[in-house]
């Protein structure tokens, strides 16, 4: 790659390119806006990438890659880090081998998420360094730096991005590839990798010591940058806020923090002391402001109203001016809706007609909550449909308990529905329960990614296919049926009604491919059939 080449890349594409240049041996993750395109782009440019059933598994696979001496990238949206938090917190105690970079793609403003959590908290809580790029060039540069940081101190590193970093396209001038010098091989390290209390106690001290070293390194890491200006106003910012602040206050002196944990406290202190007034511009929680205030620095934060939603140039101008007057409302626009021809429509029409109490989940089908259906009563997190539905069944009066149906998508079912089925079989409510898997053969909402139930891997090549019917039966569910809710609409409703009337455990799979995914699915099926024919397997392997 020539060093003068200018590319217009999204932050996600920049991370993918940097991962290729870093020699990543395996990229893992679970789709989630705004992170999804990273692994897809990585795969398209030739990087080895795969979807895991969920973020926890993705991080665990990545840990194995690191232990084997390979560099590894793990991608997820902010709420995905909650799922991966269990391995993450202990991974920090472990001496990693190959560099491990975890992308946390946050969604301030909740363009496509169920909450607005600020994952900067995770760096502090899990004792993990965090880098925050301000544009695609930094996404590229910081990804490479993060791998080197991870390998040098043998710690996982979080690269925190936000919607406007992930999806904004900006210029990138890539550099030369900088792969690791490590070659994968197994090196036994029992006290370093087996976190029993006896080894974890010293490991906790060790990771705290590593963070102190990294903090010292960060004073001159080159990843934090001062934009000189008028000393009457100093601004400290990170991530996209750097760009908003530079535009909102072009004359101010600005400290752009690239490594936001551990903080370069000496650099920050010198900066604060060099300006008359210092204000912290940060999106989300008041984390940086609080950390600097606790350190005794005289800085201003932002009014509470700016904790909510994204920042932008206008809001940063208001923060600097101390303006807390009500903000002009953003244009509301037309809300999203289920596509015309989507078979979720028939499903929610039936649920509405049967007056079901619907314990819902995360995916396109969450749109069943909006008019004209209004057929969803709860939605919390990935997989919650089943547990929440069971809780409702356990405690509601019988007549109401019978109306409870858990609705979960196919990708979500694989992600975290299986443990819900185990719970259902283990602790069945007196009225039984009905789980409705709306299986459209893809991870639709995030842009049609494959998952273990589609029988195709990230790059759409055939692989083993998880059989939902066999899984549910094997786990102990008595009634399992599969119906196309569009082709056999009446039959679908009849079976659902019948299942609700029984005191038994039932899983109904509403199976019909996403209309947006059909063209690709048909193309792939045709190509696979032709491949089988070419291999002489026509008779043995009929086309489905």
Partner 1 sequence: MAVTNIVLAGLGGQGVVKASDLLSTTAFSSGLQVKKSEVHGMSQRGGSVTTDVRIGKQVLSPMVPMGEADFLMVFESTQVDLNLGWLRPGGVLITPDLIPEGELKNRKSLNVALLGAASMVMDFSEQEWVAAIHQCFPPKLHAVNEHAFALGRKLGAGLSRPEVIEGV
Provide the binding-site residues for partner 1, judged by CB under 8 A.
6, 8, 33-34, 111-112, 135, 163-164, 167-171, 240, 243-244, 246-247, 250, 312-314, 328, 330-339, 364, 367, 445-447
Q: Rounded to the nearest whole angstrom, what is the least distance from the CB of residue 399 to partner 1 in the complex?
A: 34
Which residues lie below 8 Å from residue 181, measured CB to CB, with a gap of 6+? none
The alpha carbon of 124 is separated from its chain's Cα centroid by a whole number of angstroms, namely 19
Other beta carbons less than 10 A from residue 481's beta carbon: 16
Q: Rounded to the nearest whole angstrom, what is the least distance from the CB of residue 175 to partner 1 in the complex?
A: 19
Q: Rounded to the nearest whole angstrom, what is the least distance from the CB of residue 329 to partner 1 in the complex?
A: 10
Q: Rounded to the nearest whole angstrom, what is the least distance from the CB of residue 460 to partner 1 in the complex?
A: 18
Q: Which is nearer to partner 1, 367 or 510 (CB)?
A: 367
SS (H, E, C) 402-451: CCEEEEEEHHHHHHHCHHHHHHHHHCCCCCCEEEEEEECCCECCCCCECC
Omega before 262 within 30 of 0, i.e. cis = yes
**C-alpha pair distances (Å), 396 with each of 1, 376, 400:** 63, 17, 6
Q: Which is nearer to partner 1, 236 or 480 (CB)?
A: 236
SS (H, E, C) 156-206: CEEEEEEHHHHCCEEEECCCCCCCCCCCCCCCCCHHHHCCCHHHHHHHHHH
Q: Which is nearer to partner 1, 8 or 194 (CB)?
A: 8
Q: Which is nearer to partner 1, 185 or 334 (CB)?
A: 334
Phi, psi of 17 (to 5 degrees): -65, -45
Q: Which is nearer to partner 1, 185 or 332 (CB)?
A: 332
Q: Which is nearer to partner 1, 187 or 314 (CB)?
A: 314
Phi, psi of 54 (to 5 degrees): -155, 180
Q: Rounded to the nearest whole angstrom, what is the least distance from the CB of residue 167 to partner 1 in the complex?
A: 6
Q: Which is nearer to partner 1, 337 or 489 (CB)?
A: 337
Instruction: Give the Cα-Cα-Cα angle 37, 40, 43 (nearest 5 degrees).
Output: 150
Q: Which is nearer to partner 1, 167 or 277 (CB)?
A: 167
Q: Are 283 and 245 in contact (CB under 8 A)?
A: no
Q: Rounded to the nearest whole angstrom, what is the least distance from the CB of residue 446 to partner 1 in the complex?
A: 7
Q: What is the tally of helices (H) and strands (E) in the chain? A: 21, 18
Q: Which is nearer to partner 1, 79 or 291 (CB)?
A: 79
Pairwise CA distance, residues 489 & 349, whole Å: 10
Question: Three-class SS of residue 295?
Answer: coil
Q: Rounded to the nearest whole angstrom, what is the least distance from the CB of residue 248 to partner 1 in the complex?
A: 8
Q: Rounded to the nearest whole angstrom, what is the least distance from the CB of residue 521 to partner 1 in the complex?
A: 19
Which residues lie below 8 Å from residue 451, measured CB to CB, with a gap of 6+? 51, 53, 410, 411, 414, 415, 442, 443
Question: Three-class SS of residue 150?
Answer: helix
Q: Rounded to the nearest whole angstrom, what is the least distance from the CB of residue 249 to partner 1 in the complex?
A: 11
Q: Rounded to the nearest whole angstrom, what is the least distance from the CB of residue 133 to partner 1 in the complex?
A: 12
Q: Which is nearer to partner 1, 331 or 397 (CB)?
A: 331
Burial of 437 (0-12, 13-18, 19+ CB in 10 A): buried
Pairwise CA distance, residues 454 & 465, whole Å: 6
């Amino acid at each position: 790659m020539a060093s003068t080449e200018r590319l217009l890349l999204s932050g996600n594409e920049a991370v993918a390119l940097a991962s290729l240049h870093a020699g990543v041996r395996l990229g893992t993750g679970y789709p989630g806006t705004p992170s999804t395109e990273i692994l897809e782009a990585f795969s398209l440019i030739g990087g080895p990438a795969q979807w895991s059933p969920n973020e926890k598994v993705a991080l665990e696979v990545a840990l194995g890659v690191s232990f084997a001496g390979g560099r590894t990238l793990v991608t997820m949206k902010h709420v995905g880090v909650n799922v991966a938090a269990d391995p993450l917190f202990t991974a920090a105690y472990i001496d990693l081998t190959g560099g491990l970079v975890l992308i946390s793609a946050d969604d301030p403003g909740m363009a496509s998420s169920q909450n607005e959590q600020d994952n900067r908290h995770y760096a502090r809580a899990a004792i993990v360094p965090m880098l925050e790029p301000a544009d695609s060039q930094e996404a590229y540069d910081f990804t490479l730096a993060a791998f080197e940081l991870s390998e040098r101190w043998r710690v996982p590193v979080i690269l925190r991005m936000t919607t406007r970093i992930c999806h904004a396209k900006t210029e990138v001038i890539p550099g030369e590839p900088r792969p690791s010098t490590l070659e994968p091989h197994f090196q036994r390290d029992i006290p370093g990798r087996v976190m029993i209390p006896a080894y974890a106690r010293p490991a906790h001290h060790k990771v705290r010591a590593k963070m102190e070293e990294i903090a010292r390194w960060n004073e001159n890491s080159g990843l934090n940058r001062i934009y000189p200006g008028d000393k009457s106003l100093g601004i400290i910012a990170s991530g996209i806020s750097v760009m908003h602040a530079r535009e909102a206050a072009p004359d101010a002196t600005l400290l752009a923090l690239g490594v936001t944990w551990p903080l370069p406290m000496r650099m920050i202190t010198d900066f604060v002391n060099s300006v008359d007034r210092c204000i912290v511009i940060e999106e989300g929680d008041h984390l940086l402001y609080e950390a600097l205030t606790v350190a005794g620095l005289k800085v201003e934060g932002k009014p509470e109203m700016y904790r909510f939603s994204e920042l932008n140039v206008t809001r940063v101008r208001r923060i600097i001016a101390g303006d807390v007057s009500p903000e002009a409302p953003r244009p509301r626009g037309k809300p999203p809706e289920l596509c015309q021809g989507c078979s979720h429509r028939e499903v929610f029409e039936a649920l509405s007609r049967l007056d079901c109490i619907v314990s819902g989940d995360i995916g396109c089908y969450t749109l069943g909550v909006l008019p004209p259906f209004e057929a969803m009563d709860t939605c919390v997190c990935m997989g919650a449909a089943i547990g929440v539905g069971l809780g409702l069944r356990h405690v509601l009066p019988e007549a109401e308990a019978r109306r409870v149906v858990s609705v979960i998508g196919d990708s979500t079912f694989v992600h975290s529905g299986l443990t819900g089925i185990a719970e259902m079989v283990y602790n069945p409510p007196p009225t039984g329960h009905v789980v409705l898997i709306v299986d459209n053969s893809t991870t639709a909402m995030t842009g049609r990614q494959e998952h273990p139930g589609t029988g195709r891997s990230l790059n759409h090549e055939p692989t083993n296919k998880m059989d939902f019917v066999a899984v549910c039966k094997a786990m102990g569910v008595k009634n399992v049926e599969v119906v196309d809710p569009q082709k056999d609409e009446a039959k679908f409703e009849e079976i659902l009604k019948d299942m609700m009337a029984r005191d038994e455990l039932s899983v109904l799979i509403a199976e019909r491919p996403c209309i947006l995914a059909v063209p690709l699915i048909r193309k792939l099926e045709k190509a696979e059939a032709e491949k089988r024919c070419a291999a002489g397997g026509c008779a043995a392997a009929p086309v489905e």
